[in-house]
Chain A
Amino acid sequence: MKDVSFGQYYPIDSPVHRLDPRLKLLFLIVYIAAIFVADSFWGLLACAGVLLFSVLLSRVPFGKVLRAVKGVIFLVIFTAVINVLFYAGETVYWSWGIFSVSKEGMVFSAFLILRIVLLVICSSLLTYTTTPVSLTDGVESLLSPLKVIRFPVHELALIMSIALRMIPVLSEETARIQNAQKARGADFESGNLIKRIGAFIPILVPLILSALRRADELGDAMEARCYMGGKKRTKYKKLRFGWGDLAGALLGAALLTGVILLRIYVGGVI
C-alpha cells in the first residue's frame, strides 16, 4: 500500500523470467567475464548485442532498465574522468603536472564506461526478472557443494530469505517512525553533517529496538514450527533446468568463447 516497492522485481511473465535462477546467476558471472575479456570494439559490441537481445526477450521496459544506469551515472563519470586524467598514453593532447589527456586514455575510459553500463544493466536485468525468493534458492543451490567443507549454506540462505521478508516490514516501519518524529518537529534536511547524523538518532533507536523485538518473536515462531537447524530438513521447491535454460547456457558459452577467440586472433585496442 505504501511507497515501498518490493525489491526490484518487475512482475510480468517472459522467457527470461521463467529461466532457472541458477542459470541466470551463472550467466551473469559468465557475462561479466566476457565484458572484461573483450578488449576490442567488436567484442564489446557482441556483448552489448547479447544483452540487448536479453532485455528485449525479458519485456522489461527500456526506461526501467536505463533507470538502473542512472543510479550509477556519477560513479561512471567520475571514474572515467579520473582515468582520462591519469592514464599514461602516447598520443598526448594536453598535460598539466601529473595530469594528461591522451588518445589511449580516452579510448580506455570509453571502454570502461561501456563495461560498467553493461554490467549494471545485466545485473539489474537479473533482479528485474527474478523474484528475491528464487534468487535465494538459486544462491543456495549453487553454493550447496560448499556444504562439504561445512560452510553454512542453509543458514545463509535462510538469513537471506528472512532478510528479504523483513525489508518491506522494516522500510514501512522506518517511514512510520520518520513521520512520527517529523510530526514532533524533527528536521532531517538542514544543518551541518554532524547535526544531520544526530537527527537520525530518534529514528535509529526505535528502529533497532523494534528489529530486536521482531527477531526475538520470529525466533519463537520458528522454534514453535519445529525449526532445529538444517539437518533433517527437506525442501519443497526444487529448481528445474529446462530447454530455455539450455539455450541460455549455450548463449553464454558462445559469447564467452567468441570474445576469447576475438581477443586471441584479432587483438584489441587496449
Chain B
Amino acid sequence: MRIVAEHLTHIYNEGSPFEARALDDVTLTIEEGEFFGILGHTGSGKSTFVQHLNGLIRLPSSLKRAKKRKPKEGLPAPVLRVGDFDLADKKTDFRALRKKVGIVFQYPEQQLFAETVKDDVAFGLKSFADRKHPPEEGEIETAVREALGAVGLRYEEVASQSPFDLSGGQKRRVAIAGVLVTKPEVLILDEPAAGLDPLGKNEIADLLHRLHGDWCKTVIIVSHDMDEIAENCTMSAVFAEGKVKYVLPPRELFKHAEELSAIGLDIPLVAKLCRALSARGVEIGCDFTADGFVKAVLAMRGRA
C-alpha cells in the first residue's frame, strides 16, 4: 500500500496556553515495499505523523461534526491516502484500515494484558474479526503459531505461559507478534529497540529484516538512532519542528552531516569514519552500512 500525505497539520491543546504545533504542513509519500526510516528528535512530530497513518489521529474532515476541529485557513485541504483508504473521508472503515496498518508503539511490552501469551497475541485477531463469524479455535491457533514464529518464538514453548513471566526481550517480541497476527501490509514501529540491551537490539534488527522480507510489504521505523537507520532503511525522512526536512535514501542523507547537525541530529558511525578518512584524502564511496564500509575499504586495498 502506497502512503500519500499532503499538507498535514496537527496542533495539540489548540486554543489553550499549552498549545503545541506537532505537525506543520507535512507532505510525504512512502512507496510500497520500502523499509522506511523516520528520524528526528523527541517532539519533532514523527510520532504524531505515524499515528495519522492508521487513523489514531484523524484528519478534521474525517471526524463527526461534534468533535470537528476547525480546518486551517489559507492552507490547501490535507490529503491522506493509505492504499485505497482515503483517511480524509469520514465514511472510511477505520477498523479495516487498522488491520492493514499495524503500529508497534514504544515499549510495546507495556500493553500486554492477557493471562497467556496465546490469548494476548490472539487479541488483535479476535477484535478485528467479523462479530457474526468469530474465528475458529483452529484458525486462531494457526495464526498465533505463525505470528510467534515470525518473531522467533516457539509456540510450544511460550503459548501457554503468562506473558509477564518472560524476559524483557521476549515480552517485546510477543507484543510485536500481537500486531503481526492480523498480517498487516504496513508495519510501523516506534523506537523498536529502545531500552533493550545490546544483544536484544541486535535481535530486533534481525527480526525486522526477516519481517520486511516475508511478512509485511512495507516497514516503517521511527528512530533517533542513526546507525539503526543507516543499517536497515532503503529510504528515510527527517522530521524537525513538525516539518519534513529531508526525504532521501540513507546513503544520500548522511552526506549532509552539517545540515543534520544544525538541527541537532548526529550521523552514523560509518559516516563519521568516512568524513575522518576524507579529511585524510581518502574518499570511500559506500552506503554507510558497516558491511558496505568494510567491503569498500578492503576493495580499495585490493586495488592498491
Contact = CB atoms under 8 A, between A and B. Distances in A.
A3 B182 contact: no
Contacts of A206: 110-113
A205 interface: yes
Contacts of B124: 184-185
Interface of A: 1-3, 5-6, 10-12, 173, 176-177, 179-187, 201-206, 209-210
Nearest to B12: A3
A5 B123 contact: no
A187 to B, nearest CB: 7
A206 B178 CA distance: 15
Interface in B10-33: 12-13, 16-18, 20, 22
Contact of B128 (A12, A179, A185, A204): A185
B110 A184 contact: no
Contacts of B103: 179-180, 183
A202 B124 CA distance: 11
Given A3-B12, A5-B13, A183 B102 contact: yes
10 contacts: A3-B13, A180-B105, A183-B56, A183-B98, A183-B103, A185-B95, A185-B127, A201-B113, A202-B111, A206-B110
Contacts of A12: 17
Interface string B177-194: 011001000000000000
A182 B16 contact: no
B12 A185 contact: no
Contacts of B43: 1
A175 to B, nearest CB: 10
Interface string B49-83: 00100101000000000000000000000000000
A184 B105 contact: no
A181 B12 contact: no
Given A183-B54, A185-B126, 9 more contacts: A1-B12, A3-B13, A5-B16, A180-B103, A184-B111, A184-B128, A185-B98, A185-B182, A205-B113
B179 A184 contact: yes
Contact of A185 (B99, B105, B108): B99
B183 to A, nearest CB: 13
B120 to A, nearest CB: 9
A131 to B, nearest CB: 13
A181 B178 CA distance: 10
Contacts of B123: 181, 184-186, 202
A92 to B, nearest CB: 41
A1 B17 contact: no
A3 B108 CA distance: 21
Contacts of A210: 110
A210 B109 CA distance: 11
A187 B114 CA distance: 16
Contacts of B108: 180
A170 to B, nearest CB: 12
Contacts of A5: 13, 16, 18
A203 B43 CA distance: 25
Given A3-B13, A184-B124, A179 B95 contact: no
B55 to A, nearest CB: 9
A209 B164 CA distance: 10
A57 B236 CA distance: 53
Contacts of B114: 202
Nearest to B102: A183
Contacts of B106: 176
A187 B113 contact: no
